[in-house]
A and B are shown apart, each in its own frame.
Chain A
Amino acid sequence: MANEQIIEKIYELIAPLNRKGIELKPDVTFASDLELDSLTVMDLVADIEDEFDIVLPLNLLPELETIEQVADAVEKIINKG
């Protein structure tokens, strides 16, 4: 379970993109729930990278479907770095 602060930060970054006003929860998915297209996801990934000062490799992205999965990945990368 990812750290609360990381999840909260990610909620903040998603908020402006949440055009359908979905309630943000850890198991919300980017593609089916938030309906973000691949270009928006790309910008979001860049924002997340800059926020946490990390690199989220492109290779990881296909496996990150929910907010929680992204938060877990971010946490892992921060702890490793």
Chain B
Amino acid sequence: MDLLDKFDSTVALRDSLPFEKADPFKVVMEEIISETEAVIDGRHTILAGTNNYMGMTFNEEAVAAAKEALDNFGTGTTGSRVLNGTYGGHKALEATIAEFYGMEHCMVFSTGYQANLGMISALGGKDDFVIIDADSHASIYDGCSMGNATIVRFRHNDVENMERRLKRLPEDAGKLLVVEGIYSMLGDAAPLKELLEVAKKYGCMTLVDEAHSMGFCGENGRGIAEQLGVEHLVDFYVGTFSKSVGTVGGFAVSSHPKFDVLRLVSRPYIFTASLPPSVVASATKSIEAIKRSGNRRAHLWENARRLHAGLKKAGFHLATPDAQSPIIAVHLPDPMLGTRFWEQLLLEGVYANMAAPPATPSGVFLMRVSVCAQHTTEQIDEIITRFNRTAEKVGLALNP
């Protein structure tokens, strides 16, 4: 019995897509010219699908701090956070993030994926309930599978649907509501105020994943909860360094007085090596820079609105009625056209994400663009022009 046979249908599905000149799963960035440009297959390409929202990957202070940390502390910690893997830098980073969020405690994990695994699996015990949005990121679903809680799912961003389910749960049971600030595929914002208010009415503790909203939502860039003025309703935030912060790693913050016990019980925190000192140093500098980056935030939003307006005017079918985040997603009618569109767009010199089920909600097929604060207005206009040219070449009907 070949254990890989069960994936034959996946292989068949992939083989049925008409890629000729490029393959989205085999893109190699040969050269990174800047936050917004790379060389792919010898072609100079505008990067418009890297989640590098705040353009921090070449931040001078972050790069310098990483180099210094490499020289002083070496290439890795070779240990778990609870053994030899906690350096002064890890503690300083945790203090920086706690201060950034105005909260008491922070735990740094090795990735954002592990932060969700570690928080949800530890908080949701055997007799507890974890209530999640149907469109949650894989790390939230996997955190649920890893823990022992009963998992209750509600329709995406549907407050009333959530309340109907909360009503059915035992009043005195432990309950954790897990939602995201911005959902990564469509780029739509959660109605956090209503969701959190209702959740609190039913005695839930709340966890908000601001992976795709940290850096540019809210006055200080903490995320959608800050933007909507509902931070007092959030018990735990989860975030990542792999998007706005421009490196890799994850974190959870909270003001709960017992928060630190999670370091002793959260397996994805314990049973893995900690982040290398260079990554920790650059994350610290980057978050400090993000805090001061009011102008960058403003330019990022200008870029997002300009791209949304330009594509809408051209007649593309956009996933959101307005730019709710720097993620601008365009609906494509079917996998065939989607594949050809993605391929042609790459040949035109724009890298965007091809998003297909099961990563996308409701089985839709998307061309997902994420804009960067370092994109110039000219680059945004160029992306729009190349989208138009691509639509014409692959025969995608537009409705201006």
Q: Does B336 contact A (CB under 8 A)?
A: no
A7 to B150, CA, bound (A): 24
Number of interface residues, chain B, beta carbon within 8 A:
15
A-B Cβ contacts below 8 A, count = 28
Using known A-B contacts A37-B363, A38-B358, A58-B144, determine if residue A49 contacts B165 with beta carbons closer than 8 Å: yes
Q: Nearest-CB distance from B146 to chain A (Å)?
A: 12
Closest to B168 in A: A55
A54 to B164, CA, bound (A): 10
Chain A residues positioned under 8 Å from B165 (CB to CB): 49, 55
A46 with B144: CB separation less than 8 A: no
A47 to B150, CA, bound (A): 19
Q: Nearest-CB distance from B29 to chain A (Å)?
A: 33
A49 to B131, CA, bound (A): 14
User: Which of B151, B358, B362 sits near A57, CB closer than 8 Å?
Assistant: B151
Q: Does A39 contact B (CB under 8 A)?
A: yes
Chain B residues positioned under 8 Å from A39 (CB to CB): 362-363
A42 with B153: CB separation less than 8 A: yes
Q: Nearest-CB distance from B174 to chain A (Å)?
A: 15
B168 with A54: CB separation less than 8 A: yes
A57 with B155: CB separation less than 8 A: no
B150 with A57: CB separation less than 8 A: yes
A38 to B153, CA, bound (A): 14
Q: Does B169 contact A (CB under 8 A)?
A: yes
Which of B151, B153, B165, B362: most chain A Cβ within 10 A?
A: B153
Interface residues of A (CB under 8 A from B): 37-39, 42, 46, 49-50, 53-55, 57-59, 81
9 A-B pairs with CB atoms under 8 Å apart are A38-B358, A42-B153, A46-B155, A46-B161, A49-B165, A55-B152, A55-B169, A57-B152, A59-B150
Interface residues of B (CB under 8 A from A): 134, 144, 150-153, 155, 161, 164-165, 168-169, 358, 362-363
New contact pairs (5) apart from A42-B134, A58-B144, A81-B168, CB-CB < 8 Å: A38-B358, A42-B153, A50-B164, A55-B152, A58-B152
